[in-house]
Amino acid sequence: MDNNCRILLIEDDPADAMLITELLNKTVDFPHKIEQRLTLSSALKALRELEFDIILSDMGLPDSKGYQTFEKVSQSAHDTPVIILTHLSDEDIAMKAMQNNAQDYLFKTGLTTTFLVKAIKFALVRHSLSKALKESESKAKVLIDAIPDMMFKLSRDGEYLDYKAATNDLADQTQSIIGKKIREITTTEFADLIDEKIILTLQTGQMQKFEYQLPIPSQGIIEFEARMVASGTDEIIAIVRNITKQKQAEAEIKHKNEELLKANAEKDKFFSIIAHDLRSPFNGFLGLTKIMADDLPSLTLNEIQEISVSMRNSANNLFGLLENLLEWSQMRRGKTSFKPELLVLKSAITEIMQFVSDVANKKGVEIRYEIPYGLKVYADLNMIGSTIRNLTTNAVKFTTRGGKITIAANQMPNSFVEISIKDTGIGMNKEIMDNLFFLDKQTNRRGTDDEPSTGLGLMLCKEFIEKHGGKIWVESMEGNGSTFRFTIPNLNPSNG
């Protein structure tokens, strides 16, 4: 392997060329090999054909004079360091060459072996370090460019000194922001925040991490996370990341968790209904059938009738509960069909209320109707039927004998109809009202004749009404009855 330093000497003056050659040959610890060229054209040809470690070039050649000599050599040298050889009269040109990456310039007059060799060695080391630095900077730039984060360098007073960010990530800025102050291009509120963080960063020397929002044209409100660190005593560097998608993902995870908790609560409630509310009526029903099976010969006709009525009531309660469970299960699995149509409300309610009216009559509760003739609603018959049936059944359940229930409806000014079911029953306190439509809250209680209640029917009502785009709410006072109100459209929303 050749360890000689390969030197290209571009010098047309025989005396100067001999001087350089003799000075280099005097050293014993600097193995080298010199190729001399007398003209610029021959030197450029040598640079194309051969490899060199360093170039020693005169500025005045037969075919080139002054700074352009260095310029052309430098362009052809590629990555080879260049040292300028000059006389005193060429010093200005030599300095210009130094400013454009020449490694050194040497005066030929008074040049010594030691000085020349040191100059060459230092030039080689400087060039090597410079090359390594450029490679490191290049790699760092590649890494920085690959990072999607934005980077800003700001002064103590909030002036942008440098930055890396796409134009569409800068609020309302289509040109460079270098030299501008943050207060010139953003809101006072945001500028105050950044000023505060700059002061904290410079005073404490600790990284400041914070989040903020900014409106970005064509993107809307964007959420950012910033990490700010000190860079000297009067400057900071801020690394800023767009965390909008992260925040959206976190919100989605939170929503999914809430849905999961709700689903678990619904499942627990569902099992509770099956385990307790469904089991209890069956036990009563089985008990009555056992009495009839064991004691039928000794029972009077009145006793048999009482047992039959009790069995009928138990069967009706079981049927209502099973129907709600089935509808709830179908709703949860997305199996409930939704087919709204234009209905005459009073006719629909008359058909719906046949079963409930029987229960109310047996309890001595009067049901009144205050529904304008011809009033129409745009609704799914099964859903609106289930809603009115459940609400009215509850009203009967919590109204004492001799009480009254009023089913009323009136046209709202916004293409909706408000329907209300008002009773003169026992009412409810605020705690029950606040938790009424939440399945994971315990609000069920026994009716005035000890009728069972699960609260599942009200949840179905809420689901059905919201499916129509309406709302449901309750007004009540303990001891003064309750009024359930809900809204339902009277026009097909798609037809305006």
Give the model's pLDDT for residue 279.
Answer: 61
Which residue, among 201, 92, 215, 111, has the nearest Cα to 156 in the 3D structure? 201
Whole-number percent of the chain with pLDDT over 90 = 34
- Arithmetic mean of pLDDT, 61-66: 90
Of the candidates 438, 472, 464, 462, the one whose C-alpha atom is nearest the C-alpha of residue 269 is 438
State the pLDDT at residue 278.
60
What's the topology of domain 337-496? Heat Shock Protein 90 (3.30.565)
pLDDT at residue 79, rounded to an integer: 84
What's phi and psi for 426, nearest 5 deg? -80, -10
Q: Residue range 309-319: average pLDDT? A: 72
Is residue 365 exposed (0-12), middle (13-18) or buried (19+ Cβ within 10 Å)? buried
For residues 62 and 41, give the distance between their C-alpha atoms in angstroms, rounded to a whole number: 10
Instruction: Check if the beta carbon of residue 92 is closer than 8 Å to that of residue 67.
Output: no
Q: 2 pLDDT exceeds 70?
A: no
What own/partner pairs with CB < 8 Å and gap ≥ 24 does 210-217 have?
Answer: 211/243, 214/171, 214/186, 214/190, 215/171, 216/168, 216/169, 216/170, 216/171, 217/168, 217/171, 217/172
Lowest mean pLDDT among 131-145, 208-222, 422-436: 131-145
CB-CB contact of 407 with 421 (8 Å): yes
Taking phi first (over 0 means left), then psi (-120 to 50 degrees means alpha), and beta for anything else, what does residue 4 get?
beta
Record the tokens describing residue 48, joined without a space: 């194309």
Distances (CA, A) of 273 to 134, 310, 336: 75, 21, 21
Average pLDDT over residues 417-431: 92
> Which of the following CATH numbers is that of domain 148-242: 3.40.47.10, 3.30.70.20, 3.30.450.20, 3.40.50.970?
3.30.450.20
Identify the CATH homologous superfamily for domain 5-143. Answer: Response regulator (3.40.50.2300)
What is the model's pLDDT at position 324?
A: 64
Residue 178, C-beta contacts closer than 8 angstroms, at least 6 positions apart: 160, 161, 162, 163
**Average per-residue pLDDT for the chain:** 83
CA–CA distances in Å: residue 315 to residues 199, 288, 318? 76, 12, 5
Model pLDDT, residue 130: 83
- Distance CA(13)–CA(33), nearest Å, equals 19
Higher pLDDT, 141 or 25: 25
Topology agreement, domain 148-242 and domain 337-496: no
| Mean pLDDT score, 46-52 | 92
Q: What gap in Å lies between CA 163 and CA 145, rounded to an integer?
A: 12
Domain boundaries, the chain: 5-143, 148-242, 337-496
pLDDT at 276 over 70: no
Task: Name the phi and psi angles at 155, rounded to 5.
Answer: -80, 175
Dist CA 244 CA 60 (whole Å): 64
According to DSSP, the β-strands at 416-423 and 482-489 are antiparallel
Q: Got the DSSP string for 460-486?
A: HHHHHHHHTT--EEEEE-TTS-EEEEE
pLDDT tens per residue, range 453-472: 666 778 878 888 998 999 99
- Say yes or no to pLDDT of 369 above 80: yes
Contacts of 48 (CB under 8 A, 6+ apart): 76
- Give yes or no for residue 114 having a pLDDT over 60: yes
CA of 223: how far to CAs of 31, 153, 413, in Å?
Answer: 63, 20, 40
pLDDT at 269: 63
What totals of helices (H) and strands (E) does the chain contain, helices first? 15, 19
- DSSP letter at 275? I
Average pLDDT over residues 224-248: 91
Q: Which of 418, 383, 421, 369 shows the shortest CA–CA distance to 399?
A: 421
For 119-128, the pLDDT digits (tens) are 899 988 988 8
Alpha helices in 164-219 (DSSP H): 182-185, 188-204
Q: For residue range 175-193, list pLDDT tens digits in order.
A: 778 889 988 888 899 999 9
40 has a pLDDT exceeding 90: yes
Give the mean pLDDT of 258-286: 67
Summarize the confidence of residues 86-104 as an average pLDDT. 78
Least confident of 201-205, 216-220, 470-474: 216-220
E runs forming strands in 319-403? 341-344, 366-370, 376-379
Instruction: Please return the burial class of 176, using the count of CB atoms within 10 Å of its CB with bins 0-12, 13-18 and 19+.
Output: exposed
**Which alpha helices (DSSP H) does 147-221 contain, by range?**
182-185, 188-204
Residue 382: how many other CB atoms lie within 10 Å: 15
The model's pTM: 0.45
Tell me what pLDDT residue 3 has. Answer: 81
Residue 342 pLDDT > 70: yes
Q: Which of 466, 460, 458 is nearest to 482 (CA)?
A: 458
**Where residue 452 falls among pLDDT bands split at 50, 70, 90?**
low
- Size (the chain), residues: 496
Task: Tell me the two tokens of residue 462.
Answer: 């809420």
